[in-house]
Structure 1
Amino acid sequence: MAGKTMSIDTLVVGAGQAGVAMSEHLSKIGVPHVVLERARIAEQWRTGRWDSLVANGPAWHDRFPNLEFAEVDPDGFAAKEQVADYFVEYAKRFDAPIRTGVDVKKVVRNAGRQGFTVETSDGTFEANRVVVATGPFQRPVIPAVAPKSDRFTQIHSADYRNPQQLPDGNVLVVGAGSSGVQIADELQRAGRQVYLSVGPHDRPPRAYRGRDFCWWLGVLGEWDAEVMRPGKEHVTIAVSGARGGHTVDFRRLAHQGVMLAGLTKSFDDTVVTFDADLAENIARGDENYLSLLDAADAYAARNGLTLPEEPEARVIPADPDCLINPVLELDLVKAGVTSIIWATGYAVDFGWLHVDAFDEKGKPKHQRGVSKEPGIYFLGLPWLSRRGSAFIWGVWHDAKHIADHIATQRKYLAYYDAPNPHAPTQHEARATEPQLRKVSEMDLS
């Protein structure tokens, strides 16, 4: 359809978990729509992560309500290809109108008429509404402090695939969220000496008293928290489903052979400087871990749950030497480091969205995904409506809310387009003209 213009009620950008969920709900309520995806369905799961990646939540939890994972134990963790295949199968279940290989280049509001004009790599669309379902992992971020030297191979975690990809030598991993921790662990187990820069983090138990932490967050109401706690804006979560799932413990990683350091501060040629905050970051992670155990124990006691006791979960390993005597400066060349992996997160990229839907910092302004720009919706972003919004099951529920909003708006417009039963007929209008004229001529002072 290149060069042609297609009209559609609702256009969804992105066919990852958010776009597929959105399409299901729109299909259920009969809203004509199309989903445009620049690559394949759930492409980021296939090619945007490392080879051994698995879902960080168990299969019984990290799924949509209407389909279970095939060939994955409910308490197991689906491999990335299995997750991608899951969304492909899910989309087939309701014949989702997804068009792959189409890149959305520009969205602008129409002047003096309803809707938006959407320019794509395969023609132009006229849409009454646009749902931005591109997710939070759009642009890998490497901090400005990264060294300019070409002596090191530097890649973002988005481009890391496996240990064999890197040149021989030791590795510095910057960032201790789920990605950084899992990559550092994998590299160390492959025989590399790994230095891991650890910033502020939360580290929930993988499981406690026979229940995964996803279950505990559910019964404790934590998934439904509507706002992030103050001071947690830059705190990552260290959790892993690798090797069947395990609790991330930085002390154990250090005893295993990973050299821990604080937050990466600066580079001077080949020398990296770390903040003296490693002990504080580890302590706060422990505090987060133990607080969830406390909350779980209290919930179990309050509700009379007969779950097995697990006192060993509270045993904290001895501090490794790198925690007692933290490294504040490291000459990477002398340490044999040849590669730096930046597990430093992502930024969103809405440069193609030319609408009044953002604040002064470029962040979307919305209420539960309903943008301040009428007709624009956001889906799949962290904390869109609550803590669970960026997770597979959470995005499904957010999509339902947006679909309901779209349905309501369509009803209002249908009412506008329908004949007005209260409008006077031509005869009635003529009959009331003298009366109206008489009123207008009255002295109302």
Structure 2
Amino acid sequence: MTAEFTSIDTLVVGAGQAGIAMSEHLGRHGVPHLVLERARIAERWRTARWDSLVANGPAWHDRFPGMTFEDLDPDAFAGKERVADYFVEYARKFQAPVRTGVEVTRVTRNAGQPGFTVQTSEGALQAMRVVVATGAFQNPVIPPIAPRDDSLTQLHSAHYRNPAQLPPGGVLVVGAGSSGVQIADELQRAGRQVYLSVGPHDRPPRSYRNRDFCWWLGVLGEWDREAAVPGKEHVTIAVSGARGGHTVDFRALAHQGVILTGMTRAFRDGVVSFAPDLAANIARGDESLHALLDAADAYVARNGLDLPEEPQARRKLPDPDCVTAPLAELDLAQAGVRTIIWATGYSSDYGWLQVDAFDEKGKPRHQRGVSSEPGVYFLGLPWLSRRGSSFIWGVWHDARHVADHIAIQRTYQSYRDAAQRQQQDGGKTLGPAARAVSTDH
């Protein structure tokens, strides 16, 4: 690490959407800071997503308040490369102090003095505060039930790129959130026989009564809801911006040619078994759809809005055969399935952060991103402060709260430092820096 960066007030680890938002707010407060990114800005958007991925929200919604996608229609869905470029442009707009190609390998609290020692791939530095802006999705998770079978190609959705990447033959996609359902749809349209293992999920309408579901969740107060409904903290959401955006309909996928199954339970001797829960999972998704439609209709009536009715949104296709007579098991070889794609989520990796900031399950202890460990902050986590916290616009607002907290702490710190200098100078009157705490509160 160069001499310029051997000591910094606030270190931000990660230059994705969370780190860039954090840098903007710290800069507005005049907080000296540095953002370290082990790869490139927004690297995961470029290299940890499939080729055809687009943002799940329209361009007017999935952005920071300070800059629009000038080259896109507000209702369009930005491609993954365009999203990554957006964050590069945003960082350039306010000259964010980002150092790319530098990995943070270890953070420890200093003994007997303030701050932290940070080990990086380019040497060590000192930081008074550390903002963990790496998000919650570091390590792709493939469950332990995955078969040990060399005849099968198995990969996580993070490593899927396009249909041509896979060997010939059928594909089993495990997991039917936004990633799994979009990948299954793409593979079926490319001519593959696809089996899609469907678990519990919510499936909102892509749009309803001429408004995108992102708008509905906003006006209905859902984005700002501060606590998840018990039992639904980790339920996946099936929504898609692909092909201009559309409401995910599992029955339509089945009539299109995708074979739906219940949740994947086990593999044995080349045979996969499924739970008998497919119909219940699809019905639960229907309930979530209708609940949002009902809330939207009530909002329209309550506010006297002139939005066209959309009765077709409540119509459903007949249950396909794979729902009325679901598969209990599938012999993969006989079915010609040669690939399994695990759309089964991610785990966090905080092994490098060696401070007392985690509970017994290894999850960060924090209140709206302010850690139980003084001087440590988290950003970009689901439900950090609200339902929208892990979305692009939500992380921007969370970053503002964290930056405000840091600025306040710096004010108190300046008072303490000035008081110490007063004692050293023999009791002279405190200067403006020490009085700032009284004027800022």
**Counterpart of 1:436?**
none
1:147-158 aligned at under 5 Å gives the runs: 147-158=147-158
Asked if 1:287 corresponds to 2:287, the answer is yes
**Amino acid of the residue matched to residue 397 of structure 2?**
H
**Counterpart of 1:338?**
338
Q: Is the 8 A contact 1:42 1:84 kept in 2?
A: yes
**Counterpart of 1:389?**
389
Q: Could you list the per-position Cα deviations for residues 153-186 of structure 1 after superposition, in whole angstroms to 9, with x for gaps in the alignment? A: 0000000000000000000000000000000000
**Counterpart of 1:92?**
92
**Amino acid of the residue matched to residue 136 of structure 1?**
A
| Deviation of 1:418 (Å) | 1.2
**Counterpart of 2:115?**
115
Q: Could you list the per-position Cα deviations for residues 345-402 of structure 1 after superposition, in whole angstroms to 9, with x for gaps in the alignment? A: 0011001000000000000000000000000000001000000000000000000000
| Deviation of 1:233 (Å) | 2.7
Structure 2: tracts of 5 or more residues without a match = 428-441
> Structure 1 length normalisation: TM-score?
0.94
Q: 1:196 is paired with a residue of what secondary structure?
A: strand
Q: Is the 8 A contact 1:5 1:124 kept in 2?
A: no
Aligned-partner Cα distance in 1 for 2:88–2:77: 18
Between stretches 226-235 and 21-30, larger displacement belongs to 226-235
Structure-2 change in CA distance of 1:318 and 1:108 (3 Å): same
**Counterpart of 2:404?**
404
Between stretches 362-371 and 5-14, larger displacement belongs to 5-14
Asked if 1:375 corresponds to 2:375, the answer is yes
**Counterpart of 2:251?**
251
1:255-266 aligned at under 5 Å gives the runs: 255-266=255-266
**Counterpart of 1:7?**
7
**Counterpart of 1:415?**
415
Structure-2 change in CA distance of 1:377 and 1:137 (3 Å): same
**Amino acid of the residue matched to residue 209 of structure 2?**
R
Q: Is the 8 A contact 1:133 1:379 kept in 2?
A: yes
**Counterpart of 1:360?**
360
Q: Is the 8 A contact 1:369 1:384 kept in 2?
A: yes
| Deviation of 1:269 (Å) | 2.3
| Deviation of 1:416 (Å) | 0.6
Which of structure 1's runs of 4+ aligned residues deviate more than 2 A?
Answer: 1-5, 419-423
Aligned-partner Cα distance in 2 for 1:420–1:147: 64
Q: 2:6 is paired with a residue of what secondary structure?
A: strand
> Structure 2 length normalisation: TM-score?
0.95
Aligned-partner Cα distance in 2 for 1:78–1:69: 8
**Counterpart of 2:194?**
194
| Deviation of 1:210 (Å) | 0.2
| Deviation of 1:135 (Å) | 1.1
Aligned-partner Cα distance in 2 for 1:81–1:73: 16
Asked if 1:313 corresponds to 2:327, the answer is no
Q: 1:223 is paired with a residue of what secondary structure?
A: coil
Aligned-partner Cα distance in 2 for 1:270–1:230: 37
Computed over aligned residues only, the root mean square deviation of the Cα atoms, in angstroms, reads 1.6
**Counterpart of 2:434?**
none
Aligned-partner Cα distance in 2 for 1:95–1:4: 17
**Counterpart of 1:128?**
128
| Deviation of 1:419 (Å) | 3.4
Bigger Rg over Cα: 1
**Counterpart of 1:438?**
none
Aligned pair count? 427
Structure-2 change in CA distance of 1:306 and 1:103 (3 Å): same
1:89-238 aligned at under 5 Å gives the runs: 89-238=89-238
**Amino acid of the residue matched to residue 46 of structure 1?**
R
Q: Is the 8 A contact 1:4 1:124 kept in 2?
A: no
Q: 1:22 is paired with a residue of what secondary structure?
A: helix
**Counterpart of 2:61?**
61
Q: Is the 8 A contact 1:149 1:269 kept in 2?
A: no
Aligned-partner Cα distance in 2 for 1:405–1:329: 54
